[in-house]
Amino acid sequence: MSGDALLSIELSDVGKHFGRFQVLDHIHLRFPAGRLSALLGPSGSGKTTLLRLIAGLESPDQGVIRFAGEDVSHLHVSRRQVGFVFQHYALFKHMTVFDNVAYGLKIKPWRERPSKPVIRKRVMALLELVQLAWAAKHLPAQLSGGQRQRIALARALAVEPRVLLLDEPFGALDAQVRAQLRAWLKQLHREIAVTTLFVTHDQEEALEISDHIVIMNQGRIEQSGSPQQVYDQPANPFVCTFLGQAHQISAHLRQGVIYCGDQVVGTAAPGLSHEGAVRVYIRPHDIEVLPPDDTRSALTATLEQIAMIGPYVRLALRLHATQALIPADMTQARFAALHIAADNTVQLVIRKPHVFV
Amino acid sequence: MIAGMIARRKPWVRGVLPGFGLTMGTTLLFISLVVLLPLAALLSQAASPGWAEFWRIISSERAVATYKLTLSSALIASIFNLFLGLLLAWILTRYEFWGRGLLDAMVDLPFALPTAVAGLSLTYLLGPNGWFGQWLQALGITVVYTQLGIISAMIFTSTPFVVRAVQPVLEDMDTAAEEAAASLGASPWQIFSGIILPLLVPALLAGFALAFARSLGEFGAIIFIAGNLPYHTEITALLIMIRLEEYHYAAAAAIASVVLAAALVMLFVINLLQGWAYRQR
Ligand SMILES: Nc1ncnc2c1ncn2[C@@H]1O[C@H](COP(=O)(O)OP(=O)(O)OP(=O)(O)O)[C@@H](O)[C@H]1O
Ligand SMILES: [Mg+2]
């Protein structure tokens, strides 16, 4: 749509409280122009509140919100030119699908209002875009959840918003429809390239479709960056465990080498000059299990349980050094090649240990 | 699915709970005793002197004057209450303020108050020396013993109907739709008229119908303030009362049946309108 009007969203030192409860605490953030950004965090972490502040549905107690450098903190929601999509669609249930999408155009002051044929053309084009042109005369109640959400999206896009904000747009839908719409949203975003923020608490969704991820917890930003960055270089244990699975083992660091008990786990990233106790987080698929006779590793464990989970196998491993129980994932083929069984002793190589002081 | 198939094969299975026959029977019996029987008695009483006499009674000049007065007053009062009731319901649901609970309870006062008490206090308040009446008098407005007095009494006694019809709908309304409209650039007035009001129409109609029906039948509150001058400030209910006091039962019943017909027509029309409004959604 308006590919030339890309703008970034910046928040500086934004705070918000409800009563005595600090919902957002000194937020500094920048959402890159024209990108699809995901806002990820556990329930109650303030994602919706942040999105509503950006939309102007809520006003900040302190701090400044800027669209492409312009301070919009005190601009009324009806003037901010944001498209907002709600978790439960919030369609106008007394209007047809067509009228829902046309609403934003029909209520413009007559000077700015497009003529009827133009409105008609634009609405039909949008319905085409969300693949629901056939439903133009239906009422929202006659559509499925996924269809309603696409209508809500078309309605938000009709007024050519400067930014698009989606609050758990697929949260109320079942897994299959979710996956479809997710791919579809990614595609749509490629076509219209408007700066888009979407809230989700599904980390897979965030990793799959976004260009940029912001991870929130208890009203604070834990990390913000590309999906690759936040997944591979988590800034802290929270991000590490929140994005994908990770299990903590206690270890210590001596001259850049990680020890678990007296066994070597691996080497830490070059920048880390700490000596002494550290927490090491390990993802299940970052553990390579070797047969007992292999000598590449010093880290040993006992295989306690084997579970087949669809295409892969999950092993429960008891570390000899600390008696901690950690899971490891591998493919069925890899597992078969190992020729191991419960109660066997195995050797472990940790491909990517995440070390936090 | 399965339940649906079973229900289709066995049409007598109407739901999970049994007892349709018993509950429906009790309901019908009760309605017959309390509503239909008295109505039948009324109609047979009204018809007893014969059609010509019936027609003469109900179309007499004095009776027609009461119809006009009662109908027009009830209509004005109900339209007024449409706005007042909506306003009250709006304030009670949309704002948090000190004393909201009290105000909410007070809305029901006209229901709880004996209508004679209401009539007396209104007459006192609005009378030439009353708290409000003296100021209105100064402006050249006389309320007591005029149609304005009748309308005031009707407004007072029927406000709760509109409030209580609209309030639950407003409470259940999802504010996200309003926020969506605002984010699309709608002004507060556009949101109210285009998003909120259409959803309130059925409730407003229901409240209006009840208020109107109540106003048609209101007696106690009105007779104190109306002046009750034949041809000018005499309402239909009072004329019925007068005919009764003259032991002219057939005339009383005849006039009463006109009120009854008006109320029924009103309810019927409103029901049609409501059905239409629901289908619009
Ligand atoms: N209007 C409000 N009044 C009072 N407290 C509120 C209000 N809105 C949100 N909160 C509180 O602020 C906190 C953050 O809420 P928010 O809705 O932003 O969380 P969220 O991250 O969107 O959570 P979820 O994933 O469950 O939607 C919550 O603890 C919530 O109880
Ligand atoms: Mg939320």
The 10s digit of each residue's pLDDT in B185-234 is: 999 999 999 999 999 998 999 899 989 988 988 888 998 888 888 898 99
> Which residue is closest to A107 within chain B, CA to CA?
B186
A43 CA distance to ligand 1 middle (Å): 8
- Which residues fall within 8 angstroms of residue B248, CB to CB, at 6 or more apart? none
Nearest-Cα distance to chain B for A177, in Å, is 22
pLDDT tens, per residue, chain A with 357 residues: 444 457 899 999 999 999 889 999 999 999 999 999 999 999 999 999 999 999 999 999 999 999 998 999 999 999 999 999 998 999 999 999 999 999 999 999 999 999 999 999 999 999 998 889 999 999 999 999 989 999 999 999 999 999 999 999 888 788 888 888 888 889 989 988 899 999 998 888 899 899 999 999 999 999 999 999 999 899 999 999 998 889 998 898 888 888 888 888 888 877 777 888 889 999 999 999 888 777 777 788 999 999 998 888 999 999 988 888 999 999 999 998 888 888 888 888 888 889 888
Nearest-Cα distance to chain A for B273, in Å, is 16
Location of structure tokens 């809305």: B107
Regarding predicted confidence, which is higher, B86 or A178?
B86
Separation of first and last alpha carbons in chain A: 47
- What is the pLDDT at residue B7? 41
Return the SS3 of A56.
coil
pLDDT at B3 over 60: no
- What is the pLDDT at residue B276? 81
Banded pLDDT at B183 (limits 50, 70, 90):
very high
List Cα–Cα distances, A107 to A56, A85, A148, B195, B201, in angstroms.
19, 19, 21, 12, 21
- pTM over 0.90? The answer is no
Q: Quick one: which atom of ligand 1 is closest to the CA of A19?
A: 4
- What is the pLDDT at residue A1? 41
Write out chain A residues lying below 8 Å of B187, CB-based.
78, 107
Q: Cα separation of A157 and B229, whole Å?
A: 65
Q: Are B182 and A78 a contacting pair, CB within 8 Å?
A: yes
Closest residue CA from atom 2 of ligand 1: A18
Q: Cα separation of B42 and B48, whole Å?
A: 10
Is the ipTM, as predicted for this complex, more than 0.90?
Answer: no
Find out whether the beta carbon of A217 lies less than 6 Å from any atom of ligand 1: no
Collect residues with CB below 5 Å from ion ligand 2: A 48
Selection from B100, B143, B108, B140 nearest residue B125 by Cα: B143
Closest residue CA from atom 4 of ligand 1: A18
As a whole number, the mean pLDDT across chain B is 87
- What is the pLDDT at residue B5? 40
Mean pLDDT (whole number) for B130-144: 87
User: Cβ A86–B190 below 8 Å, yes or no?
Assistant: no
User: Cβ B185–A91 below 8 Å, yes or no?
Assistant: no
User: Cβ A139–B281 below 8 Å, yes or no?
Assistant: yes
With pLDDT > 90 as the criterion, what percentage of chain B qualifies?
A: 44
- What is the pLDDT at residue B86? 96
Least distant ligand from the CA of A57? 1
Write out chain A residues lying below 8 Å of B277, CB-based.
none
Location of structure tokens 């669209």: A67
- What is the pLDDT at residue B130? 86
- What is the pLDDT at residue B4? 41
The 10s digit of each residue's pLDDT in B157-180 is: 999 999 999 999 999 988 999 999
Least distant ligand from the CA of A42? 1
> Which residue is closest to A57 within chain B, CA to CA?
B179
Q: Best residue in A75, A78, A79, A142 to probe B by mutation, most B CBs within 10 Å? A: A78
Banded pLDDT at B280 (limits 50, 70, 90):
low
Write out chain B residues lying below 8 Å of A156, CB-based.
180, 183-184
Banded pLDDT at B15 (limits 50, 70, 90):
low
Closest residue CA from atom 29 of ligand 1: A44
User: Cβ A159–B185 below 8 Å, yes or no?
Assistant: yes
Return the SS3 of A250.
strand
Find out whether the beta carbon of A48 lies less than 6 Å from any atom of ligand 1: yes
Least distant ligand from the CA of A58? 1
User: Cβ B183–A91 below 8 Å, yes or no?
Assistant: no
